Amino acid sequence: MMSAPLDRRALLSGALAGAAALAARPIAVRAAGPAELRVAQPWEFKTLDLGEAGFTYARAGITETLVASLPDGRIAPGLAQSWSISDDGLHWRFRLRDAVFHDGTRLDAATAKASLDRLLPQSLYLKRVGIAAVEADGLDLVLKLDRPFGPLLSYLVDNSAAVLAPGAFDGEGRVRALIGTGPFKVGAAELPRSLALVRHEAYWGEKARVAAIRYDAVGNGDTRTNIAIAKDADIVFNLAAQGVGRAASAGMTIERVIIPRTHILMLNCAKPQFAEAAARRALSMALDREGIAAGIMRNKALAATQYLPPTLADWHFADLAPLRQDVVAANALLDAAGWPRGADGIRAKGGVRFAGTVRTFANRPELPVIATAMQAQLRAIGFDLAISVGEAQAIYEAQKDGSLELGLSSRNTVFVPDPIGTIALDYASDVIAPGSTGTTNWRHDGLRQEVARYLAEADEKRRATARRAIAGIIHQELPIIPVTWYDQIVAVHPRVSGFVTDPLEQRYFFDRVTIAS
């Protein structure tokens, strides 16, 4: 049986009221307070799993690790105020500081051990270190290794193994809440798009000056640029180079810093056209890196003269001959290597054309444009380059099935603040890195020995020797060809002061920032 007949006017008023309530909801709950720092950045907060999205929470100052990195790459005390290492290099003892988690729980060696026991197995880098046991010994936390591991402190900055409170985990050991020790704690979260943080009043260090931060994940670079031009955020990360002028004209301060990321041309060294180091060097010499850096990246200083940028002072060597364009020398090298030109100007040897298809992707909009620039430059030395633009993961799939010829990709080289983490994976491992950015079918036993020596070595002088040897082999052999480095462009609202850009992208340091009223 039907109830009372519906009144049209009541129906219409109800619909209008409902729509208005739905539409107005964001207004009511999202009004920004005057002391809120508004941040637009490209990284979404996808999951609570630190192994997958831990870097976003560490950068934001929610989670902390035993040690921390400084913008100049040095390792500083974090939750451990000091540490010592046994003579055999197998026992690392960390004295924990007096800190309180966001939920009021006190940090001690037992809680730190419980957290690391749960998170270490999922840590991308730390699980490769060989930590045999984590022990709580009074006020100290002791890491027992099954082999000496020199760069352990850098690896401990791996934010997928941060120290969380016992209440952060569910019964199965999965992270169900982000309860860390950092200067900011989670106020409200709407994953994956926004995260509202408030100051942790019981922070062990100097308390943050801003009371609250709101992060918005904005994936599209053009949209971030629009936000900067409209000054609708205080700090906008990863601005498109093309938008810098307009954002500056709008009154935003522009910060540019070269970060450890390199745009690389990957070569499948199993293919005859890329098997010889001479041919790879000739391809490298054909590239006009300065032109690409100035014309496409809008910063001439980004031309990659070697694999790692000067930002990584320990790993950047002034005595390595800079990678530069030299078409005459490149042609001479190929002539000498027995790659004569055919009638169409393209070289061939033993029936193999000096040609290949480069796979790249448009998530980084500059990459297809760089590929197009390379096409003309490589033709000058008799190489025929075809371009295929698809998804980033297609490079890895082609690596796996052996069909990859060339790939144009981008590699972040410091997930932990020592590039050895990435170099060991990309250059000294038989497993292809699905990040689509490792070497392909290239093996160098000398390099593997140097990597092993570096990893086991605690003495800084001997480590420096190994570093130089590793960099030299990569530079000489060119299993991948560095094209440009990359600069982080940040637009900062004039009301913000104290902003520091971390070239290692480990932390935002927003606890040092102040906002003018």
Residues that bind other proteins (CB under 8 A): 1-2, 5-8, 11, 16, 18-19, 22-27, 30-32, 38, 40, 43, 46-47, 49, 51-53, 55, 124, 190-194, 214, 216, 218-220, 223, 226-227, 229-232, 246, 363, 391-394, 396-397, 411-412, 415, 431-437
Residue whose CB is less far from other proteins, 377 or 436: 436
Residue whose CB is less far from other proteins, 167 or 219: 219
DSSP secondary structure of 457-513: ---HHHHHHHHHHHHHHHHHH-SEEEEEEEEEEEEE-TTEES----TT-S---GGG-
CA atoms within 13 A on the CB side of 366: 23
CA of residue 29 relative to chain centroid, distance: 33
Two structure tokens written together for 367: 């990459």
Closest approach of other proteins to the CB of residue 434, in Å: 4
Closest approach of other proteins to the CB of residue 227, in Å: 6
Closest approach of other proteins to the CB of residue 516, in Å: 19
Residue whose CB is less far from other proteins, 155 or 383: 155
Closest approach of other proteins to the CB of residue 364, in Å: 9
Residue whose CB is less far from other proteins, 46 or 207: 46
Q: Which residues are CB-neighbours of 248 under 8 A, at least 6 positions away?
A: 254
Residue whose CB is less far from other proteins, 9 or 461: 9
What pairs with residue 76 in β-bridges?
A: 68
Closest approach of other proteins to the CB of residue 30, in Å: 5
DSSP secondary structure of 265-329: EEEBTTSGGGSSHHHHHHHHHH--HHHHHHHTSS-GGGB-SSSS-TTSGGG--TTSPPP---HHH
Residue whose CB is less far from other proteins, 16 or 464: 16
Residue whose CB is less far from other proteins, 77 or 219: 219
Q: How far apart are CA 432 and CA 122, in angstroms?
A: 19
Closest approach of other proteins to the CB of residue 415, in Å: 7
Closest approach of other proteins to the CB of residue 214, in Å: 7
Q: How far apart are CA 140 and CA 137, in angstroms?
A: 5
Closest approach of other proteins to the CB of residue 450, in Å: 23
Q: How many CB atoms lie within 10 A of CB 319?
A: 7
The β-bridge relationship of strands 36-41 and 212-217 is: parallel
Q: What are phi and psi of 300, to 5 degrees?
A: -60, -30
Helices (H) and strands (E) in the chain, counts: 14, 20
Residue whose CB is less far from other proteins, 30 or 207: 30
Q: Which residues are CB-neighbours of 400 under 8 A, at least 6 positions away?
A: 432
Comparing CA positions, the residue from 344, 349, 351, 343 lying closest to residue 282 is: 349
**CA Rg value for the chain:** 26
Q: Are 483 and 263 in contact, with CB atoms under 8 Å apart?
A: yes
Closest approach of other proteins to the CB of residue 474, in Å: 19
State the Cα angle at 404 between 282 and 343, rounded to 5°: 50
Residue whose CB is less far from other proteins, 74 or 400: 400
Closest approach of other proteins to the CB of residue 135, in Å: 26
Closest approach of other proteins to the CB of residue 255, in Å: 21
Q: How far apart are CA 243 and CA 223, in angstroms?
A: 10
Residue whose CB is less far from other proteins, 216 or 288: 216
Residue whose CB is less far from other proteins, 142 or 189: 189
